[in-house]
């Protein structure tokens, strides 16, 4: 578990991976971070436009990289003594988002769309996912979020304060799906066709996001007697929750071994990305890949929830809130498959609806 990967230092812009004496977290100077980001973006731009008539300018890329030097020296004077933490969860979610957008481009092209449209679709999905994930979190953990709130301003701050946790993945999927539908309607695109193209990449993003969950300490598992059980140190999120429930002593150094459900879920996401990518290459009708993705994911998520230790049963059912949502996702996927099977003669592309 590593909630904070490193800190971006503004007071020492040239420092490189130096442990902070107060926090112990490694620090990287702002200049190095800027140069790395600009170099990575330039490399991606060169790769993206390979074979194009106009290639990016190497001189321009170098200039953008070197621009970090005066910018870093300026920020050193303005933000002296300040640093910006880079959280593991947020970094992995962003990495998953970028990977998903890039890997979706060839499939978008196969359904008759401009590959660059994946960035627009990704932003609609990302914004909808954040809103949906936050709303579901507020509903599920409302007592914890609004504890001690005594004014409207406090309630507003608690509502938008993501630094205190959190997002719920199932809610993010629902919100992201709504955003994706809105994107398709705004662009007059066939949702089933475009959803097929995006499904493998969405599972890829889920895989990276679940690694972020492991680094954050959330979504942890129940007691595990198997050799690969993992423990969390005193002060971590799982330790705090298990201590409050009376499962570990306050002075214990670690939790008992727990199922690494974050890793299970990450592997599930990566495997589903492969499976749905193969399905896309062999699909028979619009919506088939998306439908099977919903069905398989809802089943695997439902089963993994039995190994989770962070959520309790809801509404007297003994099922977690995510399991209840999974039933709805299963119903959606089944509906898509039945609907698609009855319209098996539909041509799978182009994606633009008529």
Instruction: Establish if 298 belongs to a structural domain.
Output: yes
Task: Provide, rounded to the nearest whole percent, the portion of the chain with pLDDT above 90.
Answer: 33
Dihedral in degrees, nearest 10, Cα atoms 97, 1, 320, 140:
-70
pLDDT of residue 138: 80
Q: Do 300 and 323 touch, CB atoms closer than 8 A? A: no
Same domain, residue pair 68 and 117:
no
**H helices of 49-163, where?**
58-66, 68-78, 88-110, 117-140, 142-145, 152-160
Residue 348 is predicted with a pLDDT of 47
Mean pLDDT of the region 312-333: 85
Last residue of a domain, one of 81, 116, 134: 81
- Sequence-distant (6+) residues with CB within 8 A of 302 are 323, 326, 327, 330
Q: Are 28 and 146 in the same domain?
A: no
The angle, 0 to 180 degrees and rounded to 10, between the axes of the packed helices 58-66 and 68-78 is 20
Indicate whether 228 belongs to any domain.
no
Query: Which pLDDT value is given to residue 269?
Result: 96
Please write the tens of the pLDDT for every residue from 110-163. 988 888 889 888 889 888 888 888 887 787 777 777 777 777 877 777 777 665
Is residue 354 assigned to a domain?
A: no
**210 labelled as ligand-binding?**
yes
Residue 104: per-residue pLDDT = 93
Domain closes at, from 66, 81, 96: 81
Q: Which residues contact 147 (CB under 8 A, 6 or more apart)?
A: none
Please determine, for residue 229, whether its predicted confidence score (pLDDT) is greater than 90: yes
Phi/psi for 285 (5° steps) reads -155, 165
Q: 107 and 124 share a domain?
A: yes
- Expressed as residue numbers, the domain containing 131 is 88-222+259-342
Alpha helices (runs of H) in 245-287, residue ranges in sequence order: 261-282
Looking at the structure of the chain, the number of domains it has is 2
Query: What pLDDT digit, counting tens, does each position of 163-215 carry?
Result: 555 677 777 878 888 898 899 999 899 888 899 999 999 999 999 999 998 98
CA distance 202 to 285: 20
Q: Cα–Cα distance between 265 and 207 in angstroms, integer?
A: 7
Report the residue count for the chain: 354
Domain closes at, from 27, 58, 81: 81
- Distance of alpha carbon 332 from alpha carbon 129, whole angstroms: 18
Q: Are 46 and 56 in contact (CB under 8 A)?
A: yes
Of 336 and 349, more confident: 336
pLDDT at 352: 52
The predicted structure's pLDDT at residue 344: 65
252 assigned to some structural domain: no
Can you tell me the mean pLDDT for 228-247? Answer: 90
Q: What's this model's pTM, rounded to 2 decimal places?
A: 0.81
Asked if residue 254 is part of any domain, the answer here is no
């Amino acid at each position: 578990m590593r909630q904070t990967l490193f800190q971006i230092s503004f007071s020492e812009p040239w420092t490189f991976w130096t442990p902070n004496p107060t926090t112990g977290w490694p620090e990287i100077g702002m200049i190095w971070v800027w140069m790395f980001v600009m170099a990575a973006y330039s490399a991606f731009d060169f790769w993206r436009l390979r074979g194009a008539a106009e290639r990016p300018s190497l001189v321009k890329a170098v200039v953008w990289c070197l621009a970090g030097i005066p910018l870093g020296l300026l920020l050193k004077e303005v933000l002296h003594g300040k640093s910006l933490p880079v959280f593991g969860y947020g970094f992995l979610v962003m990495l998953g988002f970028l990977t998903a957008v890039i890997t979706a481009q060839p499939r978008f092209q196969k359904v008759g769309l401009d590959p660059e449209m994946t960035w627009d679709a990704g932003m609609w999905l990302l914004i909808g996912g954040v809103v949906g994930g936050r709303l579901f979190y507020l509903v599920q953990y409302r007592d914890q979020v609004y504890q001690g709130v005594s004014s409207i301003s406090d309630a507003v701050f608690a509502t938008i304060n993501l630094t205190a946790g959190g997002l719920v993945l199932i809610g993010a999927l629902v919100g992201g799906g709504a955003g994706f539908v809105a994107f398709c309607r705004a662009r007059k695109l066939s949702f089933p066709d475009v959803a097929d193209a995006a499904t493998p990449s969405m599972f890829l993003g889920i895989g990276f996001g679940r690694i972020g969950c492991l680094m954050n300490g959330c979504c942890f598992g129940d007691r595990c007697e198997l050799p690969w059980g993992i423990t969390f140190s005193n002060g971590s999120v799982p330790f705090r929750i298990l201590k409050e429930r009376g499962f570990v002593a306050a002075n214990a150094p670690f939790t008992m071994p727990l199922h690494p459900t974050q890793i299970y879920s990450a592997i599930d996401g990566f495997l589903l990305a492969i499976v749905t990518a193969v399905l896309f290459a062999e699909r028979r009708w619009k919506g088939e890949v998306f439908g099977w993705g919903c069905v398989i994911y809802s089943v695997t998520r439902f089963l993994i929830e039995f190994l989770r230790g962070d959520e309790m049963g809801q509404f007297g059912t003994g099922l977690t809130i995510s399991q209840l949502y999974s039933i709805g996702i299963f119903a959606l996927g089944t509906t898509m498959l039945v609907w698609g099977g009855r319209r098996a003669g539909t041509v799978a592309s182009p994606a633009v609806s008529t």
